Amino acid sequence: MLRTSFQSQKEVLSIRNLNVRFHTYAGDVKALDGVTLSVRNGEILGLVGESGCGKSVTSLAIAGLLPQNAEVVSGEVVLGGTDLLKMKKTDMRLARLRDIAMVFQDPMTYLNPVLPVGLQITEILTDDPRLFVQALIDNRLGQLHQGSLGKVEEQERKRLESQLNEGRLSKQELNRLAKAYATSMLKLVRLPEPERVFKMYPFELSGGMRQRAMIAMALVRRPKLILADEISTALDVTVQAQILKLLTELKEKIDTSVILITHDLAVVAEVCDRVAVMYAGNIIEVAEVEELFRNPLHPYTKGLLGSIPNPDAAGQELKSIKGSVPDLIYPPNGCRFHPRCPEKFDNCSKQKPRLLEVNPGHFVSCFIFGG
Amino acid sequence: MTELKETEVPKQKSGSVADVKYAFHLLKENPLVIFGFIISVGSMLVAVFAGFIVDPNTWKHVDLSMRLCWNNPTFNWGIVNVFNCAGPVYALGTDSYGRGVLEMIILGIPLDLQIALEVVASAVFVGVVFGGVAAYAGGVLEEIILRITDIFLAIPGILLAIVLLVILGRSFNILTLAVAITWWPTYLRLMRSQVLSEKEKPYVESLRAMGAGPSRILFRHVIPNSIYPIFVQATLDIGGVILTVSALTFLGFTPSPLIPELGNLANDGIRYLFTAPWLILFSGLTILIISLGFNLLGDGIRDVFDPRLRR
């Protein structure tokens, strides 16, 4: 069921054999064990798995925001041709500023409570004024929306260019441009009366509005990659649907890729193009959404899909995967899922299965399929 | 795809004019804050116009025949004066040099207020900047800043100020400097503890994820979020500084014992506590009221300006 030939599509991000450990008093937590993943241009990749399987660690590793006690043992994270893990700290900061954006789970606490929303957005723009103005001149930002900056007039553009080159672009001018652009961004994420919302403090907005503001903040630089970490979890269901719809629409408009981290399979089915299933620090299955839901191969994926409550099966017992998530300080040998696997055999506890392409575009890491 | 419906905005006014209006509304709801506001603004007005209210050279006119007099006919309280006291009427009596207490207090307010504001402002500045940097940067830099603070904390404040005054000489500028040098460590520690807890908040992580640099995160986001306890501490300290300065002038670190400084006046009054109680009473009350006024204002400032308390 391939919609397009994936071989021809460009990869925005590719993670190869990423190993991350956390040094703790109790021992080393092997949080990521050889994660290999790629994100293609313009797709939404769902990253699913239960709590503690390494979804968030993966996204933090991409953004270079792992906590102090984390160590990247090996692997590479290549974004647009450069390995992010080998970057210097300051370059990594610039990469975050320009190419990677994160949207977090809880919009209540991820905005600065004492600064109006609008200022928090303009700040991102004016942090690197040259880049922002250059983007305006190139009309890279302009084509997004129909606001006052929708079409930067030829004259205006020439004036900006000369001012920029002569280094006499005034602060007021810059702030005016940033404000106009930020307001149009707020409009783009469908916040009503963006001029008013611009001046409002986070506590004056509802949860859904705050999440929209967070998305506006993420989009404002037109990043190559958006890491959306459980963005809909803290919202109620109707708002969830709006936010997810907004994300898919915007992704198409501004041509960016999204990694959507979630444990909600319904969300994945709704918005994602492809899905990667994680278990205990491993990627165990990657496939297109339809393929994964129709034809799950890995026993864990089967268990995961089987444990979704189904209204048609009302009255029957809800299935669950037996056992519990392994302690990652002492992970099981071989396949990390084997102690809970209903289909395990001898080899499973001895060797680690490889991630192999079983069907076109469908990767699975299990000995049943060759491993 | 169907068009999404816009969500409702809470009907509430925003913008700077509305902000100011709302601030006044909050002020109105809290009578104590109004009290504090009136006192602190009033004392500043007195300080600015002291020279117009009272001849600024009055303090130099010593008249020993008029010392320790209470000759206010309106509130006579049956006080029997030790000295002759035939002369002009003084509303709040005279001090041990025969000068009017009211006049001396009016001349003393600008001096004390200036010293207090200068000391507190410089202490807040040093404390906020270095405390913030220490907490946010961590590591070696934090250790260095904190150990230097420890050195200053280890020496008793008054003693350090005395040493500095002995070395540098007696003037109110040097007094201000000496008190300021002993004053900042409290603020540094307070700021550090605030920033330590503030920098772990999720929005800081979100800022980092958006590529904000450390100086921007610290000075534009973390410090504004953690500065409110500092404001309260600063307003509490206005009175404290006045008391410390008066202690130093009592010990003799004043260019002249005649100088109308509130602490100077109060210390003068201690000697005549039973013969001329008005002397210490009114100078002491002035110190009390000014510090109380700034305290109440400080509490109010936090309520008005901290957007988190506006729910």
At residue A154, the pLDDT reads 64
A134: which residues sit within 8 A by CB, 6+ positions away? A164
Residue A369, SS3 per DSSP: helix
Q: Can you tell me the distance from the alpha carbon of B298 to that of B232, in angstroms, rounded to the nearest whole number? A: 5
Quick check: A244 and A284 in contact, CB under 8 A?
no
Average model confidence (pLDDT) for chain B? 84
Neighboring chain A residues of B1 at a CB cutoff of 8 Å: 245, 249
At residue B1, the pLDDT reads 39
Identity of the residue in A97, A114, A206 whose CB atom sits nearest the CB atom of B210: A97
Here the tokens at position B155 are 């020496």
Q: Can you tell me the distance from the alpha carbon of B282 to that of B94, in angstroms, rounded to the nearest whole number? A: 11
- Determine contact: A214 vs chain B, CB below 8 A: yes
Identity of the residue in A63, A200, A208 whose CB atom sits nearest the CB atom of B14: A200
Q: Can you tell me the distance from the alpha carbon of B241 to that of B247, in angstroms, rounded to the nearest whole number? A: 10
Identity of the residue in B211, B220, B311 whose CB atom sits nearest the CB atom of A203: B311
Structure letter (DSSP) for residue A353: P
Neighboring chain B residues of A188 at a CB cutoff of 8 Å: none
Q: What are phi and psi of A12, to 5 degrees?
A: -85, -45
Helix axes B31-53, B277-305, angle to 10 degrees: 130
B35: which residues sit within 8 A by CB, 6+ positions away? B293, B296
Neighboring chain B residues of A249 at a CB cutoff of 8 Å: 1
Whether the per-residue pLDDT at B6 is higher than 60: the answer is no
At residue A322, the pLDDT reads 82
Q: Can you tell me the distance from the alpha carbon of A198 to that of B268, in angstroms, rounded to the nearest whole number? A: 59
- Strand A100-103 relative to strand A225-229, pairing: parallel
Burial of A190 (0-12, 13-18, 19+ CB in 10 A): buried
At residue A141, the pLDDT reads 61
Q: Can you tell me the distance from the alpha carbon of B114 to that of B47, in angstroms, rounded to the nearest whole number? A: 9
Beta carbons of A63 and B207 less than 8 Å apart: no
Closest-approach residue (CA) in chain B for A187: B6
Whether the per-residue pLDDT at B13 is higher than 70: the answer is no
Whether the per-residue pLDDT at B9 is higher than 60: the answer is no
- Determine contact: A68 vs chain B, CB below 8 A: no
Beta carbons of B203 and A204 less than 8 Å apart: no
Residue B1, SS3 per DSSP: coil
ipTM (interface pTM):
0.79
For range B125-150, the mean pLDDT: 94
pLDDT digits (tens, 9 = 90+) for B65-121: 888 888 777 777 777 777 777 778 888 888 888 888 899 999 999 999 999 999 999
Neighboring chain B residues of A61 at a CB cutoff of 8 Å: none
Each residue's pLDDT, cut to its tens digit, for chain A (371 residues) gives: 344 444 446 788 999 999 999 999 988 999 998 899 999 988 999 999 888 888 889 999 998 888 889 999 999 999 888 888 888 888 888 888 888 888 888 877 888 888 899 999 898 888 877 777 777 776 666 554 444 444 556 667 777 777 777 777 778 888 888 888 888 888 888 888 888 999 888 888 888 888 889 888 888 878 889 999 888 887 888 888 888 888 888 887 777 899 999 888 888 988 899 999 999 999 999 999 999 999 999 999 988 888 888 777 777 777 788 888 888 888 888 888 888 888 888 888 888 888 888 888 899 998 888 76
Beta carbons of B205 and A110 less than 8 Å apart: yes
Beta carbons of B212 and A112 less than 8 Å apart: no
Q: Can you tell me the distance from the alpha carbon of A108 to that of A206, in angstroms, rounded to the nearest whole number? A: 9
Beta carbons of B211 and A112 less than 8 Å apart: no
- Determine contact: A26 vs chain B, CB below 8 A: no
CA atoms in the 13 A half-sphere facing the CB of A154: 0
CA distance A268 to chain B (A): 18
Residue A349, SS3 per DSSP: helix
Name the residue with higher pLDDT: B133 or A254: B133
- Determine contact: A218 vs chain B, CB below 8 A: yes
Residue environment code for A79-95, b if the CB has 16+ CB neighbours within 10 A, otherwise e? beeeebbebeeeebbbb
For range B40-57, the mean pLDDT: 90
Beta carbons of A190 and B208 less than 8 Å apart: no
Strand-by-strand arrangement of the A225-229 sheet = A100-103, A225-229, A257-262, A44-48, A274-279, A282-288, A362-364, A356-359
Structure letter (DSSP) for residue A109: T
Beta carbons of B4 and A214 less than 8 Å apart: no
Proportion of chain B above pLDDT 90, given as a percent: 29
Closest-approach residue (CA) in chain A for B225: A114
Closest-approach residue (CA) in chain B for A121: B210
Q: Can you tell me the distance from the alpha carbon of B197 to that of B229, in angstroms, rounded to the nearest whole number? A: 13
Beta carbons of A218 and B12 less than 8 Å apart: no
pLDDT digits (tens, 9 = 90+) for B191-222: 999 999 999 898 998 888 888 888 989 999 99
Q: What are phi and psi of A22, to 5 degrees?
A: -110, 125
